[in-house]
């Protein structure tokens, strides 16, 4: 049963309306009942009164790019552990990629995952369908059936679609059926460490999007040239959005050399010039969304040689402090929150998420910009995090999902 909660004297941010002021929020029956100071409604005796002085009160965060390893690799992460990691990080909604084992490329597997998500998670979990059968880039899945069975987007994430004809076909289908297409930019003719891999594939995608007026979304942009390509495309009114991961705007290939396998991801960490370009892209609006690309792996998998270790790092639980610590001198708090809430909601067509509005479901996060702590423990099953042992500032201290407090002061309450 949902609680009646009064969040008092917090800095309330609603990115949709540019509302940003110190005020109160009343939550009742799982919804936002009132925003204002003083509250017009009488606060009942059974109301949970929480003072949020000097804290940010924001919409629940939305991550459009996570890997919860279900089905097939639940020893790394599962829907329950992944959702707990999300709650700890202030995320109330996540979108899972399809590169599981087996690949989510048919309605039966999709249905099984969504049923497990509904019964065994603590947040709203949404599922992407792969674009091609087995992620092989050769034959399209039955996209219509996948949409009808609950897939909210299409992506072969982890592999770029190399065949231009197939890529154009899926782009055209997604536009006609109003389903977002999330594209991993990797030209398989090059190593992922060769920047041409990302740049060439991004260039191809943008050319097709422009020529045929088709919308696309580019995942985990990491190169200066890619940021420039997207910026120029947007100036030409190409229908493109893109995302960046916290590791790509906070770390460089120098950090990779120091940290090792727990800083190995695809695309890889780039140069300081690239890092600064990603920050500039976030600042000027070229890059719309911040998404973690949360990718758990076990210690055993990451403990082999750098060459053999799998790509991927976890990021849900550290996204907020890493983002605020890195971007606080470049973007306002409201701008950062918008890239974690409203922009993802718009991409996915979530009309009732990413906003603080009376009558909407009460998904919120409270962030303490002054809270500092070391990165040590995780709710995730895996610990492949490049910030282990680092002292970070600006942490979520409360997560509210559907009107219930599910994380408070670092403790899970579900």
Query: Looking at beta carbons, which pairs linking 44-47 to residues 24 or more positions away fall under 8 Å?
Result: 44/4, 46/4, 47/4, 47/5, 47/6
Residue-level length of the chain = 414
Q: Is 368 annotated as catalytic?
A: no
Half-sphere exposure of 301 (CA within 13 A, CB side): 16
365 Cα distance to chain centroid? 15
Distances (CA, A) of 253 to 104, 220, 372, 388: 32, 16, 26, 17
Please provide the DSSP assignment of 338-353 as one string. Answer: HHHTHHHHHHHT-TTS
Residue among 187, 274, 288, 293 flagged as catalytic: 293
**Residue found by looking up tokens 């949020």 in the block:** 52
How many other CB atoms are found less than 10 A from the CB of residue 40? Answer: 8
Please name the residues in contact with 70: beta carbons below 8 A apart, sequence gap of 6 or more. Answer: 77, 78, 79, 96, 100, 113, 116
SS3 132: strand
Query: Distance between CA 227 and CA 218 in Å, rounded?
Result: 10
From residue 396, alpha-carbon distances to 87, 103, 320 in Å are 9, 33, 7
Instruction: Give the residue numbers marked as catalytic.
Output: 293
């Amino acid at each position: 049963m949902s609680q009646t909660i009064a969040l008092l004297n917090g800095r309330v941010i609603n990115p949709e309306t540019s509302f940003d002021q110190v005020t109160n929020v009343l939550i009742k029956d799982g919804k936002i009942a009132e925003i204002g100071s003083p509250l017009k409604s009488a606060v009942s005796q059974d109301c949970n009164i929480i003072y949020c002085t000097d804290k940010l009160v924001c919409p629940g965060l939305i991550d459009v790019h996570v890997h919860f390893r279900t089905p097939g690799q639940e020893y790394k992460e599962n829907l329950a552990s992944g959702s707990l990691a999300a709650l700890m990080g202030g995320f109330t909604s996540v979108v899972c990629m399809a590169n599981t084992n087996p690949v989510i490329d048919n309605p039966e597997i999709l249905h099984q995952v969504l049923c497990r998500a509904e019964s065994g998670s603590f947040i709203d979990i949404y599922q992407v369908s792969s674009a091609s059968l087995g992620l092989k880039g050769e034959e399209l899945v039955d996209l219509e059936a996948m949409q009808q069975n609950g897939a909210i987007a299409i992506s072969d994430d982890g592999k770029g679609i190399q065949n231009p004809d197939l890529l154009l076909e899926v782009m055209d289908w997604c536009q006609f059926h109003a389903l977002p297409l999330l594209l991993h930019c990797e030209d398989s003719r090059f190593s992922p460490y060769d920047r041409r891999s990302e740049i060439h594939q991004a260039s191809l995608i943008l050319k097709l999007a422009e020529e045929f007026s088709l919308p696309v979304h580019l995942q985990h942009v990491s190169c200066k040239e890619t940021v420039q390509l997207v910026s120029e495309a947007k100036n030409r009114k190409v229908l493109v959005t893109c995302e960046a991961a916290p590791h790509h705007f906070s770390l460089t290939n120098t950090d990779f050399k120091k940290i090792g396998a727990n800083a190995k991801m695809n695309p890889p960490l780039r140069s300081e010039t690239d890092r600064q370009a990603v920050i500039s892209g976030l600042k000027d609006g070229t890059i719309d969304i911040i998404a973690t690309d949360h990718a758990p792996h076990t210690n055993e998998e990451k403990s082999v040689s750098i060459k053999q270790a799998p790509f991927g790092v976890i990021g849900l639980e550290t996204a907020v402090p890493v983002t605020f610590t890195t971007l606080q001198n470049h973007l306002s708090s409201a701008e950062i929150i918008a890239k974690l809430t409203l922009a993802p909601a718009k991409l996915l067509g979530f009309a009732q998420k990413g906003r603080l509005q009376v009558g909407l479901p009460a998904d919120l996060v409270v962030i303490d910009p002054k809270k500092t702590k070391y990165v040590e423990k995780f709710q995730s099953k895996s610990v492949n995090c490049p910030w282990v042992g680092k002292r970070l500032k600006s942490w979520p201290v409360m997560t509210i999902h559907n009107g219930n407090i599910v994380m408070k002061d670092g403790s899970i309450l579900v």
